[in-house]
A and B are shown apart, each in its own frame.
Chain A
Amino acid sequence: MSLTTAHSVVAPTALSRRIAATIVIVYALVSILPLLWIFATSLKTPPDSIAYPPKLLFQPSIEGYCNLFTTRTRQTPEYITSPATSFCDQVTRSRNMVIAGPSNFVPRFVNSLVIAFGSTFCAVFLGTLAAYGFSRFKVPLADDLLFFILSTRMMPPIAVAIPIYLMYRELGLSDSALGMILLYTAVNVSLAVWLLKGFIDEIPREYEEAAMIDGYSRMQAFWRVVLPQATTGIAATSIFCLIFAWNEYAFAALLTSGTAQTAPPFIPTIIGEGGQDWPAVAAGTTIFLIPILVFTVLLRKQLLRGITFGAVRK
């Protein structure tokens, strides 16, 4: 052991690097395997998806995606033999069925988009104001208020869901996009305040003070000096809020059932004939996960900060 570190004090030796690289790469490949399997399953036909042994090589098919976007029904043999109207229809007819209409996937996906973007906008807007307030003004009991804001995040979602369910029933907000946006804003605002306070703390006060000496008011200094400087922080915070709202399941499953249902509670309910239609589920999952993959790559430098509420900044 001591031989391997003899010539260099801090830099690891070539051998230890190679061993480390091998173990890390094997772990990475194993951990990414379930995700690759989701993608592969989305391109299989239903019989291929439940073949034994599991098929590594298969004829790709878009049947999963067709089934995801449509509902299907059995039809008479005469009807089946009539010409198909679309490519998906043709695939469906080969299973002795015809397309009956669009599935609920698109509306649920749109709900996810509306609720995620709506709540992110509100949370970041409120969060930026509050973070600036905490960062630049002497707020009485500031530490207690900040801790209070953080502690709202410790509640188990089901515990919050009981009174929220009753409250929304009284207010007519049950199963509405507005209700979900309000709820996700409240959950996300704690993250937004904590992260943005960290980012704004890093902008030197001298910038605003100089601007205010030059005749800017406090509001002008906030708009024209602080906000442009905080753009990166606001962008990173927005993406974290977006990911949370996009992935959220507990509130969505308990408080929405129809019109405002988002994709996470919907995807597990996709069923075909004789049980879960796994290629369709995999197709829905793939479409649902792609935006997050893109954001993860974009965010990788800020990730640490986001997941620790700004406690660790590197």
Chain B
Amino acid sequence: MRAAARSTPADIAKRFRGLSDRALAWLFIAPTMVLLLAINIFPLLWAIWLSFTNYRANRANEVVKNVGLSNYQRILGDGDIWIAMQTTAHFVFWTITLETLIGFGLAYLIDRKFRGHAFWTTIILVPMMLSPAVVGNFWRFLYQPQVGLFAYVVSFVTGIPSAQIDLLGSVGSAPWAIVIVDTWMWTPYVMLICLAGLRSIPDYIYEAAEVDRASPWRQFWSITLPMALPFIMLAVLFRGIENFKMFDMVNLLTGGGPGSATEVASITLKRQAFESWRTGYSSAFAIILFVAVFGLANIYVKALNAVKQR
């Protein structure tokens, strides 16, 4: 070893040998920090500044006026914004409920370790790896009345004529259309995390419960569920953040329509920022959204840690 070390051509190494660990640490970390400051923090500060102005990106030469908090006041008093927030809340609530129930159920079944379970698990995982935009776009075809596969299968099972099954076309059903695609795509995600949770429960706990003659029902509620709970909560956290800012799948599937039936917060933001070009106003909305995600995530992480420590 010693001979090998001595024989290395160590020009660069010699230059660094003199550096203290502290200096080296900064050398390693600084490039990442500089990049994040330039591409994340600087734009964020810019957005905060813009949110206090009436700037419009399509009229760059106009004089920019400082309007104080009026953008924020207008957003909080804007009925359309509240409807968008409500649409987002419904979307997040139903997708997370369905994904957690189905995902946990599947994980529980896969944990029976039947023959070939690894293969089928991999098959189930495929949808979540794909591009939500590209696949979401194709779901528009599957949802078409008559010629779409979805309409055909539903009408085959239920007997409703397939020409009448137009999920994307009506205000009442369009929100469910996006919930179905999101559930299809992200249930595997929740399943995978739940499966890790179930596998982390040591066998001896079940053995002890069996000695105490606890019923399977009792074992599920007193052992399986509480011990898998931190994992389930983690999955809900990740899905919650992602679905709160959902854009790509919804934009391609419905574009927020029909009307504004599926206009989640990100779609409103896009319409305000890149179609109406109300840059100042939409920056204020962006900041409100960011604070909301950040605040909710922080509260939730505290709850998660409390559950973990129990």
Residue of B nearest to A129 (CB): B28
Query: Across the interface, do B293 and A154 meet the contact criterion of CB distance under 8 Å?
Result: yes
- Of B75-83, B171-179, B263-271, the one contacting chain A is B263-271
B46 CB-CB contact with A under 8 Å? yes
B306 CB-CB contact with A under 8 Å? no
Query: Across the interface, do A132 and B248 meet the contact criterion of CB distance under 8 Å?
Result: no
Query: Across the interface, do A165 and B22 meet the contact criterion of CB distance under 8 Å?
Result: no
Number of interface residues of B (CB under 8 A): 114
B135 CB-CB contact with A under 8 Å? yes
Query: Across the interface, do A304 and B193 meet the contact criterion of CB distance under 8 Å?
Result: yes
**Given A27-B106, A214-B2, A314-B199, CB of A186 within 8 Å of CB of B36:** yes
B147 CB-CB contact with A under 8 Å? yes
Query: Which residues of B in the span 178-226 have a Cβ within 8 Å of any Cβ on A?
Result: 184, 187-189, 192-193, 196, 199, 203, 206-207, 210, 215-217
Query: Across the interface, do B131 and A152 meet the contact criterion of CB distance under 8 Å?
Result: no
Query: Across the interface, do B147 and A54 meet the contact criterion of CB distance under 8 Å?
Result: yes
Query: Across the interface, do A218 and B16 meet the contact criterion of CB distance under 8 Å?
Result: yes
Taken residue by residue from 259 to 284, chain A's Cβ proximity to chain B (1 for < 8 Å, 0 otherwise) reads as 00001110110000000101001100
Query: Which residues of B in the span 95-110 have a Cβ within 8 Å of any Cβ on A?
Result: 106, 109-110
Query: Across the interface, do B152 and A130 meet the contact criterion of CB distance under 8 Å?
Result: no
Taken residue by residue from 52 to 64, chain A's Cβ proximity to chain B (1 for < 8 Å, 0 otherwise) reads as 1110000000000
B63 CB-CB contact with A under 8 Å? no
Q: How far apart are the CA atoms of A20 and B115 in the complex, in Å? A: 10
Most A-side CB within 10 Å, residue of B29, B274, B294: B29
Query: Across the interface, do A158 and B286 meet the contact criterion of CB distance under 8 Å?
Result: yes
Taken residue by residue from 184 to 209, chain A's Cβ proximity to chain B (1 for < 8 Å, 0 otherwise) reads as 01100110010000000000000000
Q: How far apart are the CA atoms of A186 and B248 in the complex, in Å? A: 19
**Given A24-B120, A158-B269, CB of A130 within 8 Å of CB of B31:** yes
Residues of B within 8 A of A296 (CB): 122, 125-126, 129
**Given A24-B106, A53-B152, A247-B130, CB of A130 within 8 Å of CB of B32:** yes
Query: Which residues of A in the span 1-45 have a Cβ within 8 Å of any Cβ on B?
Result: 1-2, 5, 9-10, 12, 16-18, 20-21, 23-25, 27-28, 31-35, 37-38, 41
A85 CB-CB contact with B under 8 Å? no
B164 CB-CB contact with A under 8 Å? no
Query: Across the interface, do B110 and A253 meet the contact criterion of CB distance under 8 Å?
Result: no
B8 CB-CB contact with A under 8 Å? yes
B236 CB-CB contact with A under 8 Å? no
B282 CB-CB contact with A under 8 Å? yes
Query: Across the interface, do A253 and B251 meet the contact criterion of CB distance under 8 Å?
Result: yes
- The 8 Å CB contact of B130, one of A16, A137, A193, A292, is A292
Q: How far apart are the CA atoms of A38 and B137 in the complex, in Å? A: 11
A126 CB-CB contact with B under 8 Å? yes
Taken residue by residue from 244 to 264, chain B's Cβ proximity to chain A (1 for < 8 Å, 0 otherwise) reads as 110110011000000000000
Q: How far apart are the CA atoms of A183 and B297 in the complex, in Å? A: 24
Residues of A within 8 A of B283 (CB): 162-163
Query: Across the interface, do B149 and A20 meet the contact criterion of CB distance under 8 Å?
Result: no
Taken residue by residue from 23 to 43, chain B's Cβ proximity to chain A (1 for < 8 Å, 0 otherwise) reads as 011111101110110111111
**What is the minimal beta-carbon distance from B26 to any residue of chain A, in angstroms?**
8
- 20 additional contacts, CB 8 Å, given A20-B114, A156-B244? A16-B112, A17-B112, A20-B109, A27-B124, A126-B35, A155-B245, A155-B293, A157-B266, A158-B245, A163-B47, A163-B283, A164-B39, A182-B35, A189-B32, A190-B36, A249-B134, A278-B141, A296-B129, A300-B121, A308-B238
